[in-house]
Structure 1
Amino acid sequence: MKLVQFWHDSTPALGLQTPQGIVDVQAEAARRGVSAPADMAQAIALGDEGLSQLAPLAEAARCFTSAPLAPVVTQTGRILCIGLNYRRHAKECGLPLPPAPVPFCKFSNALAAHGEAVKLLPDYKEYDYEAELVAVMGRPARDVSVDEALDYVYGYTCGDDLSTRDLQFARGGQWLLSKTFDGFAPIGPCLVPARELDPTALDISSQVNGQTRQSSNTGDMIFSVAQIIADLSRHFTLMPGDLIFTGTPQGVMQGYPADRKDWLKPGDRVSVTIQSIGTLENTFV
């Protein structure tokens, strides 16, 4: 099952991605006289019960929508990110493997949807892409073990941890300002429930204008999704709807030789593809 959100009267509404199109969950549920969550926040709150309500709606559905997609999660308290979490990415950057996950944050203004155009400010030039698997928390998690950590995940989606390298290094290597411009956390196109995926062995790639830049597998992660959640939950309570960008593999432009760097610019198109989830695509203006 693949869950999406789309814009309905300027409000995110829940949909189901099917081969026939996007099912309008509320319209389809009303047609059948059944209950179903109205948006992703309600779906997360209902957990397995909500998924059970949603699954039948994709079969022989009649109510489809062509409305533009919204970010798959909109009502989130935190966007947590993990830096330097793929072995080959650390190697291309010439950096040692970190002894523990390296977290930083983005803010909700950075969220963008599949298909949305992201604005690049003219103040900077070194704009970079970062394909990432994003975990969406499903229930509060505090001091959980690695073995039980994945039980707290609601689902997974694709993300692009966009970065402004010239700002990043001009400020001494700090990451927050350089990564949380408006629209700098695209997620989507859909969310796949956690029970349907193994996050430890997913192919992940990115393309810029159709040219492959990153190609790896989540098996190259230094810290697994479970280890990340366990580590973060030892320090604070993770909440439903929290997004965790789990790091990017090798192939980002920052790792290219100086004479081959080709930073993102207006008119470019970036695609992030993750096995069993789909492809997130954004253009830049």
Structure 2
Amino acid sequence: MKLVQFWRNGRPALGLQTERGVVDAAAEATRLGVTVPEDMAAAIALPAGELERLLTPLLQDPQCFTGAPLAPVVTGTDRIFCIGLNYRQHAKECGLPIPPAPVLFNKFSNALAAHGDCVKLIPDYKKYDYEAELVSVIGKPARNVSEEDALDYVFGYTCGNDLSTRDLQFARGGQWVLSKTFDGFAPVGPCLVPAGELDPNHLDISSTVNGEVRQSSNTSDMIFPLAQIIADLSHHFTLMPGDLIFTGTPQGVMHGYPADQKSWLKPGDWVEVTIQGIGTLRTTFC
């Protein structure tokens, strides 16, 4: 099952991605005389197993489709946690040592963007970079959870692009948060896949820029697997439903290229992030 959100009258509404298009969950439920969650936040709040029970009938022979623009797969959260330097080969290409523990920074809700959105690159900076990432969505409060139980707290997975402004990130004493939370700098999508349908430890992940492959790896190259990340974060503070965790990027980002081969993102470029079992997130730049 692939869940999406789309814009209806300025508010996010729940949909289902199918081969025929996006099903308007509320409209299809009305047609069938049943009730379903209105948006992703309501879906996340349901007890385990209840969402599948409610939504599966909507996929039998859907009639109510929508062409409305997609919204970010999760909205209404200010908590976007990001893990830096979390792939072995990425650390190697950057010439940096393996960190002893997950390295945390944040983005904020203004950075969220949807599949298909155009993200503005302000002219103050020039070194704009892409980072393909597996993003997990927390489904229930998690505090001091064990690694063995950590994945039970995940609601689902989506694709993410941790956009970065490298000439700001490494200037002014090091500006990780400021350089990574410009408006639209956390595209997520195109859909959210329920946690039980994927193994986050063994997923192919890649990115292309204007159709050229830049990153190609597997989540098995993570230094800290998702279960360890969740356990570590929950030891320090409570993770809440709807929290997003960007889990790091593999090798192939422009920051890791030799100086004479760097080609930073510019207006008119487009990036696609593809993760096995989820799909492809497309972002253009203006």
TM-score by length of 2: 0.99
- The answer for the alignment partner of 2:205 in structure 1 is 204
Q: How many Å apart are 1:215 and its aligned residue?
A: 0.2
Alpha-carbon displacement from aligned partner over 1:112-165 (angstroms, at most 9, x marks no partner)? 000000000000000000000000000000000000000000000000000000
The answer to whether structure 1 residue 181 and structure 2 residue 182 are counterparts is yes
The separation in 2 between residues aligned to 1:50 and 1:200, in whole angstroms, is 24
Q: Secondary structure at the match of 1:283?
A: strand
Deviation at 1:242, TM superposition (A): 0.0
Q: Check conservation: 1:128, 1:164, Cα contact below 8 A.
A: yes
State the distance in 1 between where 2:22 and 2:170 align. 42
Q: Look up the match of 2:22.
A: 22
Residue 89 of structure 1 is matched in structure 2 by 90
CA distance in 2, matches of 1:171, 1:247: 23
Per-residue displacement from partner, 1:69-110 (whole Å, max 9, x unpaired)?
A: 000001113000000000000000000000000000000000
Is the Cα contact below 8 Å between 1:43 and 1:51 reproduced in 2?
Answer: no
Aligned to 1:264: 265
Counterpart in 2 of 1:246? 247
Deviation at 1:171, TM superposition (A): 2.2
* Structure 1: 4+ residue segments shifted above 2 A: 171-174
State the alpha-carbon separation in 2 of the partners of residues 171 and 222 from structure 1.
Answer: 28
SS in 2 for 1:181: coil
Identity score, percent: 76
**2: CA distance, partners of 1:280 / 1:55:** 24
One-letter amino acid of the counterpart of residue 126, structure 2: K
Q: Structure 1 unaligned runs (5+)?
A: none
Count of residue correspondences: 285
Q: Supply the distance in 2 between the matched residues of 1:112 and 1:77 (Cα, whole angstroms).
A: 13
Deviation for aligned residue 1:55: 1.6
Contact 1:77 1:241 in 2 (8 A): no
Aligned to 2:225: 224
How many Å separate the matches in 2 of 1:15 and 1:195? Answer: 19
Matched, 1:149 2:150: yes
Mapping of 1:25-174 within 5 angstroms?
25-47=25-47, 48-174=49-175
Distance 2:132 2:173 in 1: 24
Q: Deviations over 1:191-229 (max 9, x none)?
A: 000000000000000000000000000000000000000
Whole-angstrom CA distance in 2 between matches of 1:193 and 1:263? 34
Q: C-alpha separation between the residues in 2 aligned to 1:56 and 1:132?
A: 32
SS in structure 2 at match of 1:227: helix
**Within 2, Cα distance between the matches of 1:173 and 1:205?**
27
Gaps of 5+ in 2: none
| 2: CA distance, partners of 1:105 / 1:39 | 24
Kept in 2, the 8 Å contact 1:205–1:214? The answer is: yes
Counterparts of 2:187 and 2:56, CA distance in 1: 26
TM-score, with structure 1 as normaliser: 0.99
Q: Which amino acid aligns with 2:270?
A: R
Distance 1:80 1:148 in 2: 20
